[in-house]
Amino acid sequence: MTTKNIALKIKRQDAPDTKPYWQEFEVPHRKNLNIISCLQDIQRGPATTKGVTVNPVVWECNCLEEVCGACTMVINGRVRQACTALVDKLEHPISLEPMTKFPIVRDLHVDRSRMFKNLKKVKAWINIDGTHDIGEGPILPEDERAKRYVLSECMTCGCCLDACPQFTSDNNFLGAATFGQVRLFNAHPTGKHNQEERLEAVMGEGGIADCGNAQVCVEVCPKNIPLTESIADIGGQATLQIIKNLLFK
Amino acid sequence: MEKRRKNFVVIGGGLAGLACTMKLCEAKAQVTLVSYQAVKRSHSVCAQGGINAAINSKGEGDSPDIHFYDTVKGGDFLANQPLVRDMCFQAPAIIHLMDRLGVAFNRSPEGHLEFRRFGGTLYSRTAFAGATTGQQLLYALDEQVRRYEHDGQVTKLEWHEYLEAVIDHDGVCRGAVLNDLRTGDIFTVGGDAVVLATGGPAQVYGRSTGSTVCTGAAATSAYLQGAKYGNAEFIQIHPTAIPGHDKLRLMSESARGEGGRIWVPKTPGDARPPREIPEAERYFFLEENYPLFGNLVPRDVASREIYDIVFNKKMGVAGESMVYLDLTHQSREFLDNRLGGIIDIYEKFTGDDPREVPMKIFPAVHYSMGGLWTDYQDDGNGLIDHQSPRNQMTSITGLFAAGEADYQYHGGNRLGANSLLSCIYTGLMMGPGLIQYAKNQNKVFENVESQVFEKAVNKWKDRFSKIKSMQGRENPYDLHQELGETMMEHVLIVRENAKLEKALTLIDDIETRFADVRCLDTTHWANPTPSFINQLNAMIHLSRIITLGALQRNEFRGAHYKPDFDLKQPSDFDPHEYVDYMEQKNYDEVPEDTFPDGHMAYMKRFESNNEEWLKTTIAHFDEGKPHISYEPVDTSIVPPRPRKYD
């Protein structure tokens, strides 16, 4: 039996302050092969197509079923998760690059802590009285719950930010994922109590007004989260807040 | 002078670690939260189907005591009962808390929490958020902990790995040795106590439903330091997963809770597409063999049945190791609302739409009922004294364990949707006890001799530089794969002593070859290889106690199935007969001839088997070797009896 080989071009970088370089690898083809399996194959025999032994490729992964967001990278020019990138559905040779808007740690592994800091800036949480047993939560209609659920599936993977022309490595733009979370918490009956704080945070520098409306965020979101809808919604909430501030503050 | 703040180290940012951190912060303590990667990416996100609580919103007469009974029965009576009972009594408050935190739980028409069916119970007891309940619960706790981080009470050390507990001359844990996975720095962090909420060890089996971080290395490290490890041999095999090269992806039990049916064609090798096979020519083997529970028998039962269909009856779909999990009779709208998350996963990885064609699934390693031995203090009324510092403490003073990393709650087999519950429950429940423990200390870690910490750091710096100097012939990733294949082949659903003995020899061989490993990457920055080699060493040790525990336990209990020791329950047996028999024995008057043929003999076999084996397996590492011993189980609330689901 002859096995077909898959050719991969991987953009590598040894450390944050060193120059990137490309290496080519080949791995044996199998049915339903995904990019994670290819990278695991390279770990088992870390040598380039030319037969040069190299260090295994470094990348982030965990759940391998597209719910954790870890294995996000740029595959054939498109930012997405490596676990759901099936080799048979990709153009060959396959190119793998790290995400472009976040600091490189090593190879395909980038530092996305900016996203988590942004969640702190907009206070993406619900202020509860405490963990003690004080009874049921608020009664909610199922259709409202379903709308919030879609927003809460955001894995903080960063696809929307990597694709966004407005989000760059040297500005403060909060980006679509963060706006989506503001909408998620402002839509909760208890979360609403703190909506002003969240809106103030998105009205400042790097806030909602900086969105250039390129709409690519929604195209690359692996969870089909209605990001542009969230941006419009938060834009509207922020405008109302500005009017309120003018009238009452 | 400002009052000294209590200071804890929590290892692991899954549900248990986050719940514990939140509870400690609420009590004004400082927490250092250590995670192998970004907390929000922890393995809890993989849990799909839901979380159990007997809220009885559907008038079915459910109650925490029935939840408790289902759980101990599901676990084949191997769990310590006061803890299980306390968990089940706390469950409704836990669900309400998570709801208040904003978890998008599905709602009933009136806007209350919706509940669905799950395995091992006849009640609708499982609250859920679509089919990504674990992810949703994790996010809610992650958000609360981020709030405390924002307020300065939590210091997160993400991209850090726990290597070992720092133990002082009195044998008390005073902190942890950590490895910064980016810089490669090895250092210690001190704390009033250390909590290991480090998850399960599915990677010991190579491919499983577990995430790549689920190596069990942290818990195994505690075992190698002398902490007792309980019931290692009890590994749950989930009946329904999608086979894959890199992972066996879970297809939640909720698919069956929402009406999914398991079947194979009645004619082995029938090559017709599934939808062209008429209903009468399909064998719904779970429904036929278990009329009462049907597709919702507990996981150990379902996995054994699928195994039997495929390997003994040779009835797997198209002759392969697969059976159908069929949802096609349900409407698209219903499926999208209740199971969207798992349907997407199946579609993305196989290209088939489960709304149109039945899914092809097979069992996969999923969960470890076993884990670090932990203590508890009951309150004398069948519940737990939540103020006790004994709760969740390992056999090393000051070192605690929670979540999948501990051995409590699930006995010999875990019921679906009880793991999210036990993770959040342990995290929350242990909070007050940890505070008490810190209060009661006669010495704080700041006053422990610095040499204790220095020695611990030096040991690990030395160990990692030795790992980096390993330049043998074995690729560590290949060796890991081989370990996984060994465990899959010999220590899985059906266990035979000859195969288990063989596995021990193979594990010894892998350990020998481990000494000849090559550290593929010896650079200093963000190099995962040395860390993986260290984890592989832990996995080898853990695989040995899983196998040894299985070899020595000569019985069939829960997920530990040894056909040679099956007590052969008569098909018409009713577990109540055993309850009657036990009662009559108390009064010393057993009318033996009133029981149907063969039942008395079976009950005597069952009774004497329990006398010998209704015990917790304890693995203890001493002088470089595992030692197996046994401890009694607290069955003081519900007397053990034979399980039956048909």
**Closest chain A C-alpha to B96 CA, distance in angstroms:** 5
CATH number assigned to the domain comprising residue A172: 1.10.1060.10
Residue B109 C-alpha, separation from nearest chain A C-alpha, in angstroms: 7
- CB-based contact B41 A70, cutoff 8 Å: yes
Question: From the CB of residue A210, how many other CB atoms can be counted at a distance below 10 Å?
Answer: 15
Q: Which of B23, B45, B366, B426 to mutate to test the interface with A (most CBs of A within 10 A)?
A: B45
Assess B477–A contact: CB distance below 8 Å, yes or no: yes
d(CA B579, CA A56): 60
Number of domains comprising chain A: 2
Using CB atoms, which residue from A15, A120, A140 is nearest to B150? A120
Task: Report yes or no: B555 and B562 within 8 Å, Cβ to Cβ.
Answer: yes
Same domain, A164 and A71: no
**Per-residue pLDDT at B1:** 61
Contact: B40, A155; criterion CB under 8 Å = yes
- Any chain A CB within 8 A of the CB of B267? no
Spatial separation of the C-alpha atoms in residues A104 and B623, rounded to whole Å: 44
Burial of A50 (0-12, 13-18, 19+ CB in 10 A): exposed
Our CA-based measurement puts residue B287 at a distance from the nearest CA of chain A, in whole angstroms, of 30
Q: Is A126 on the interface with B (CB under 8 A)?
A: yes
Contacts A62 to B, Cβ<8 Å: 37, 41-43, 211-213
Paired residues of A109 in beta bridges: A106
Q: Does B110 sit within 8 Å of A139, measured CB to CB?
A: yes
On whether residue A61 sits in a domain, the answer given is: yes
Q: Is B2 exposed, middle or buried (0-12, 13-18, 19+ CB in 10 A)?
A: exposed
A199: tokens are 């809106």
**How far is Cα B414 from Cα B401, in angstroms, rounded to an integer?**
18
**A236 and A121 assigned to the same domain:** yes
Whether residue A229 is found in the same domain as residue A167: yes
Clarify whether residues A98 and A118 are in a common domain.
no
CB pairs under 8 A between A and B: 194
Q: pLDDT band for position A2 (50/70/90)?
A: low
Catalytic annotation, residues of B: 299
Which B residues in the span 414-443 are in contact with A, Cβ-Cβ below 8 Å? 428
What is the spatial distance between Cα A136 and Cα B501, in angstroms, rounded to a whole number? 53
CA proximity to B78, closest of B638, B646, B645: B638
Residue A132 covered by a domain: no
Query: 3-class SS at B548?
Result: helix
Minimal C-alpha gap between A29 and chain B (Å):
11
Q: Does the CB of B527 have a partner CB in chain A at under 8 Å?
A: yes
Query: Is there a contact between A68 and B211 if contact means CB atoms under 8 Å apart?
Result: yes
Question: Domain map of chain B by residue range?
Answer: 9-234+369-452, 239-363, 470-552, 567-632
Chain B residues with CB under 8 Å of A155 CB are: 40-41, 45, 135
Chain B residue at shortest CA distance from A116: B146
Helix (H, G, I), strand (E, B) or coil at A32: coil
CA separation for the pair B177, B187 (Å, rounded): 6
Considering only CB atoms, which chain A residues are within 8 Å of B345?
Answer: 65-67
User: From the CA of A68, how many Å to the nearest CA of chain B?
Assistant: 5
If asked whether residues A163 and A242 sit together in one domain, one would say yes
Task: Say if residue A21 is in the same domain as residue A143.
Answer: no
| C-alpha–C-alpha distance, residues A191 and A140, integer Å | 13
A223 and A117, same domain (yes or no): yes
pLDDT at A128: 95
Whether CATH 3.60.15.10 fits B239-363: no
CA distance B249 to B231: 25
Domain B470-552: top CATH class = mainly alpha
> Are residues A151 and A45 part of one domain?
no
User: Is the Cβ of A182 closer than 8 Å to some Cβ of chain B?
Assistant: no
Residue A1 has pLDDT above 50, yes or no: no
Alpha-carbon span B122 to B60, nearest angstrom: 9
Residues A168, A222, single domain; the answer is yes
CA-CA distances (angstroms) from residue A194 to A125, A131, A182, A190, B4?
9, 19, 10, 8, 32
Span A17-58, pLDDT tens digits: 999 999 999 999 998 899 999 999 999 999 999 999 999 999
Condensed to tens digits (0 to 9), the pLDDT of residues A210-229 reads: 999 999 999 999 999 999 99
* Judgement on whether residues A104 and A118 belong to the same structural domain of the protein: no
Structure confidence at residue B20 (pLDDT): 98
Question: What does the pLDDT read at residue B2?
Answer: 74
Domain that includes residue A228, residue range: 113-127+139-248
Per CB-CB distance under 8 Å, the chain B contacts of A143 are: none
Q: Do B435 and B403 contact (CB within 8 A), yes or no? A: no
Chain A residues within 8 A of B96 when measuring between CB atoms: 133-137
A204 within a domain of the structure (yes/no): yes
**Nearest-CA distance from B327 to chain A in Å?**
20
In a shared domain, residues A199 and A106? no
How many whole angstroms separate alpha carbon B342 and alpha carbon B313? 29
Is B471 an 8 Å CB contact of chain A? no
CATH code: domain B9-234+369-452 is 3.50.50.60
Among A2-11, A69-78, B84-93, which stretch is predicted with the lowest mean pLDDT? Answer: A2-11
- B104/A152 Cβ within 8 A: yes
Using an 8 Å Cβ cutoff, are B460 and B506 in contact?
no
Six-digit token pair at A60? 């982030």
- Diameter over CA atoms, chain B: 81
Any domain includes A133: no
Nearest to A84 among B100, B158, B348 (CB): B348
CA gap A237, B581 in Å, rounded: 69
Token couple for B131: 């089919």
The verdict on B40 touching A (C-beta cutoff 8 Å) is yes
B274-284 pLDDT, tens digit per residue, is 999 999 999 99
Judge if A150 and A221 occupy the same domain.
Answer: yes
Q: What's the rounded Cα separation, in Å, for the pair B393 and B399?
A: 6
The mean of the pLDDT values for chain A is 96
Instruction: Report which of B558, B617, B561, B520 is spatially closest to residue B231, judged by C-alpha positions.
Output: B617
Mean pLDDT by 10 residues, chain B (646 residues): 90 98 98 98 97 96 98 98 98 98 97 97 97 97 98 98 98 98 98 98 97 98 98 98 93 96 96 95 98 97 97 94 97 95 94 96 98 97 98 98 98 98 98 98 96 98 98 97 97 98 98 98 97 98 98 98 97 94 89 90 97 98 97 97 96
CB contact under 8 A, A185 and B102: yes
Contact A70 B38 (CB under 8 A): yes
Q: What is the ipTM of this complex?
A: 0.98
* Residues forming beta bridges with residue A68, ordered by sequence position: none
Q: Tokens 């986050």: give the residue.
A: B18
Quick check: A127 and B526 CB within 8 A? no
B587 and A CB contact within 8 Å: no
| Interatomic CA distance for residues B304 and B320, integer angstroms | 16
Q: Say if A134 falls within a structural domain.
A: no
Nearest to B107 among A128, A140, A152 (CB): A140
